[in-house]
Structure 1
Amino acid sequence: MSNTLNIALLQTDLTWENPEKNRLHFSEKIDAITAQVDIIVLPEMFTSGFTMHPSSVAETMDGETISWLKTTAAKKQSAITGSLVIKENDNYYNRMVFVHPNGMVEHYDKRHTFTLAGEDKIYTSGNKKIIVNYKGWKICPLVCYDLRFPVWSRNSDHYDVLIYVASWPTVRMLAWDTLLRARAIENMSYCVGVNRIGTDANNHEYSGHSAVYDVLGERMDSIPYSVEAVEIVTLNKEDITFNRNKFSFLADQDQFSIT
């Protein structure tokens, strides 16, 4: 169990539908991290960009990217998380994986597929929220469009950290900034968001705005916009405990079930 958690946020451009090149790019970024970190966070669909052509990039849970993630996690003695296209039982998933240093893999399938881009017609939606237990911390991994739906992230599990990975376009950046902060405040949880930069093959622009917010909604990072950046932010368990004891907002949540 650790009282602190060092999280490395990797805000980068992505090469369109080229998993091998993207893995090499991330390897360079990760190898350059000299400090000891506990979790490395990559963007949504980090091997391909936000593609609606999954057949050209889809992998299995025994594929090259999962193998690379396991090797990298073991080498850095750090967990790694991000989403990629996975094919399973003839279905495609926008799957966020959480790879532990010991090689254990947990995963979450994006619940809210992005109807505006037709993601719902191509990818199978997940139906289960997971909580990852890691070094004494409870972590809730979610993907991009999930950010718009607060009921799904509602902190009835007493998690400590929300992690969103995204391909959130510049044109709707105000929503990203606002909702990341809101999710931290309403759930009294650290909220981490990692978004890509650059322009994809569909001419959609991304400007990053990756960020970390504390349980009161104060921003903790200094990641610049629109450029590649790697920043390490330290989370503190005592900060969560102190503020939840002082402001018992979670105890006043409405009680209901999610179907």
Structure 2
Amino acid sequence: MAQILNTALLQANLEWENIQHNKDLFEKKIKELPQETDLIILPEMFSTGFSMNAENLAEPDKGATFKWMQRMASVKDAAVTGSLIISDEGKFYNRLYFVFPDGSSQKYDKRHTFTLAKEDETYASGKERLIVTYKGWRICPLVCYDLRFPVWARNTEDYDLLIYVANWPAARIRAWDILLKARAIENMSYCIGLNRVGRDGSDLNYVGHSAVYDSLGKQISNNQEEGEFVELVALDKQHLTDTRSQLKFLQDRDRFTVHLE
């Protein structure tokens, strides 16, 4: 079990619908990461930007960009996660992959498709949440709009780390900042939000604000830039264990069952 999880946040300016350019961009950044990196986090739809042009951009499940993720995971001996536009059995998905260093993987399909952008008209909604076990850490990866729905993120499995990969626009960045901190506090978990920067093909502006919060809502990441950056943040399992032992708030949580439509 790893007491320290060295997590790399890659906040980048995505080039609109240019898969090869974006993979090249991230490959350069990934290869420059220190060798002690354990987990590499990429944005939502990191190869294309947040596009509804799924018919022209979708890749098959475990297609070329997924294989690129496997290669990056192998090169750095680290897990890699981020979401892609995927076509699977006649439907399109905003699918997050969590790729382990050995090339194995798990997937999560975004549950809450963003109706304001009509994402729900293009992409099918996921039905299952994912809890990943990696280096002794239990990790719950979610995608962008999922952040607004606390029931879906509720820590009923005693996970240690909640991750949101996103294309969250500047116009609503205050909500992003507040909700990330809230999710960390209410779930007594580390919470990471990884957003993009720059403008997309819909002329939406993104200012990043990628951040890491501990289980009490304290921001432990240091980079405040609204442009591109790479930051390595060390998560401490013992700190989390000690906090939960002292403050047993999770023991008082409500018990409930989520019924999906």
Same fold, TM-score > 0.5, yes or no = yes
1:139-186 per-position Cα deviation (integer Å, ceiling 9, x unaligned): 000000000000000000100000100000000011000000000000
SS at match of 1:25: helix
Give the corresponding residue for 1:192.
192
Q: Report the identity percentage.
A: 52
What does 1:97-116 align with in structure 2 at a 5 Å threshold? 97-116=97-116
**SS at 2:44's partner residue?**
coil
Q: Distance in 2 between matches of 1:251 and 1:62?
A: 39
Match of 1:37 in 2: 37
Larger CA deviation: 55-64 vs 236-245 = 55-64
> SS in structure 2 opposite 1:242?
helix
- Distance in 2 (alpha carbons) for counterparts of 1:36 and 1:230: 15
Per-residue CA deviations over 1:29-57 (Å, capped at 9, x if unaligned) read: 11111341100000000000000111121
Count of aligned pairs between the two proteins: 259
Q: Does the CA-based 8 Å contact 1:17-1:48 persist in structure 2? A: yes
Contiguous gaps of at least 5 residues in structure 2: none
RMSD: 0.7
Equivalent position of 1:57 in the other structure: 57
Unaligned runs of 5+ in 1: none
| Equivalent residues in 2 for 1:86-105, closer than 5 Å | 86-105=86-105
Correspondence for 2:135: 135
| Aligned counterpart, 1:17 | 17
In structure 2, how many angstroms separate the alpha carbons of the residues matched to 1:157 and 1:57? 35
Q: Displacement, 1:224?
A: 2.5
TM-score by length of 2: 0.98
The worse-fitting range, judged by mean Cα deviation, of 76-85 and 25-34 is 25-34
> Distance between the aligned counterparts of 1:136 and 1:256, measured in 2?
26
Question: Does the aligned pair in 2 maintain the 1:108–1:141 contact within 8 Å?
Answer: yes
In structure 2, the residue corresponding to 1:232 is in which secondary structure? strand
| 1:198 alignment partner, SS class | strand
2:240 aligns with 240
AA partner of residue 196 (structure 2):
R
| Contact kept in structure 2, 1:17 and 1:56, CA below 8 Å | no
Secondary structure at the aligned position of 1:82 is classed as strand
Partner amino acid, structure 2, of 1:73? A
What is the distance in 1 between the residues matched to 2:83 and 2:223?
Answer: 21
Distance 2:23 2:224 in 1: 23
Give, as a single letter, the amino acid of the residue that structure 1 aligns with 2:3: N
The C-alpha deviation readout for 1:33-86, integer Å capped at 9, x for no partner, is: 134110000000000000011112111123110111101101100000000101
Question: How far, CA to CA, are the matches of 1:119 and 1:71 in structure 2?
Answer: 30
1:254 shift after superposition: 1.1
- Per-residue Cα deviation, 1:225-258 (whole angstroms, up to 9, x for no partner): 3210000000011111111111110111111111
Aligned partner letter, 1:195: N
Contact conserved, 2:83 with 2:95, CA < 8 A, in 1?
Answer: yes
Structure 1 residue 223: Cα displacement: 1.7
Match of 1:161 in 2: 161
- 3-state SS in 1 of match to 2:60: coil
> Hey, what's the Cα distance between the residues in 2 that align with 1:204 and 1:210?
17
State the Cα deviation string for residues 111-149 of structure 1 (Å, max 9, x = none): 000000000111000010010000000000000000000
Equivalent residue number for residue 215 of structure 1: 215
Per the normalisation by structure 1, the TM-score is 0.99
Aligned equivalents of 1:188, 1:64: Cα separation in 2: 37
Once residues 248 and 63 of structure 1 are traced to their aligned partners in structure 2, the CA distance between those partners, rounded to angstroms, is 44
CA–CA distance in structure 2, aligned partners of residues 221 and 246 of structure 1: 24
Q: CA deviation at 1:27?
A: 0.4
After the TM superposition, list the runs of 4 or more consecutive aligned residues in structure 1 that deviate by more than 3 angstroms.
none
